[in-house]
Structures are given as C-alpha cells and as structure tokens.
Amino acid sequence: MENFTLARVIHVIAVILWIGGVAMVTTVIIPAVKNLKTKEDQIKTLEQIEGRFAFQAKITTLLTGLTGFYMMYELDAWDRYLDYRFWWIHAMTLVWILFTLILYVLEPFLLHKLFVKYADKNPAKKFSFIHRAHWMLLMFSLITIAGAVAGSHGWFLIK
Ligand code: HEM
C-alpha cells in the first residue's frame, strides 16, 4: 500500500509539472511570443522555450505513464477499460498517448520541420494554429484531471 501511495504522489506531481507547463505555454508564452516584432524572433524564441519544456515534458510524461500503469496493476483495475463509468481512465490514457506521440515521435520527426517551413511563410496563421492546438490539449487535460480526481475519490459523474 505504501508503494501504491508513493506511486500516486509521483503521478500527481508529474501531472502538475507537465500540465502546469502546458498551461503556462498556452496562456502566457505563446501570446507573448506572438507580440514579438520580427518573425525570426518569434520562431527562435518559441523554439528555444518549447525545446526546453519538451525535454521536461518527456520526463514527466514518462513518470506519469509508469506510475499510472503501476497503479492499474496494483489495483488490478484493467477491467475499468471496459466500463464507461471510468471514462476518466480512458481519458488519462488517451491524453498520455497523445502527448507521448507528440513529444517522442511527431515533434522530433515531423512537427519541427513543418513549424519552421510554415512559420516562415505565414507566421500569423501558423502561430494561431499552434495556439489553438495548445488550448485544445490543455482543455482536454483539465477535464481529464477533474474526472480523475473526482472518480478516484469515489464521485462518479455517470452512475
Ligand atoms: C498511461 C496513462 C495513465 C494511467 C494508466 C493512469 C492511471 C491512474 C490510476 C490507476 C489512478 C488511481 C485511480 C484510483 O485510485 O482509483 C490515477 C489517478 C490520477 N491520475 Fe492518472 N493515469 C494515467 C495518466 C494520467 C494523465 C495523463 C493525467 C492528467 C492529465 C492523470 C491524472 C490523474 C489524477 C489527477 C489522478 C487522481 C489522483 C488523486 O486524486 O488521488 N493521469 N491514474
């Protein structure tokens, strides 16, 4: 049980650092970068900041996944994947898969090249698209967190 509680503590701290960072990038950094004067400054600044954050996020996503699956194993809760009342378990797993794909596969191999290409051609459009994508990921993550806290403490929104 102590190991389980430790896993929960690490899970929640990793989620705070990770999704808190996504909130900071979405609500503060991207709007500030949009206001920079030249497109060269915009591209360079966002790349530097997101690059550093991506490194941290890779570690926190990994910790979240490891501790999450460990808790699933300890609780022997795999059948929750077959029960719609545990939609927040599906949501946690989906958020995790999405970010893992973005951070480990799409960003390094595809998104980075696309960002430089399109940001150079039409920076305003590109930054608006990036901003919207961040807002969607942030909203989905916050709904997931609300559902996970309520659900894991026994409050089921769907009976
Ligand atoms: C592979 C992905 C994940 C798995 C397998 C997983 C699994 C779990 C499990 C088993 C629990 C404990 C449930 C219980 O006590 O009944 C939990 C709690 C929680 N998880 Fe996840 N999780 C994952 C990803 C995430 C993500 C991406 C987030 C945030 C966006 C998240 C946020 C939370 C929160 C906030 C709690 C509640 C902690 C508490 O209030 O005590 N998890 N997770």
DSSP-assigned states of every residue in 19-82: HHHHHHIIIIIHHHHHTSSSHHHHHHHHHHHHHHHHHHHHHHHHHHHHHHHHHHHHHT-GGGGG
- Any atom of ligand 1 within 6 Å of the Cβ of 68: yes
Q: What is the pLDDT of residues 30-65, one digit of tens each?
A: 999 999 988 889 888 988 998 899 999 999 999 999
**Residue 155 backbone zone (phi > 0: left; psi -120 to 50: alpha; other: beta):** beta
Distance 92 CA to ligand 1 centre (A): 6
14 pocket-lining for ligand 1 (C-beta < 6 Å) = no
Q: Which of 9, 26, 22 is nearest to 64 (CA)?
A: 9
Tell how far the Cα of 89 is from the centroid of ligand 1, in angstroms: 7
Measured in Å, residue 131 CA sits from the centre of ligand 1 at 26
Closest residue by CA, ligand 1 atom 14: 152
Each residue's pLDDT tens digit, 27-36: 999 999 999 9
Per-domain residue ranges of the chain: 2-152
pTM above 0.75, yes or no: yes
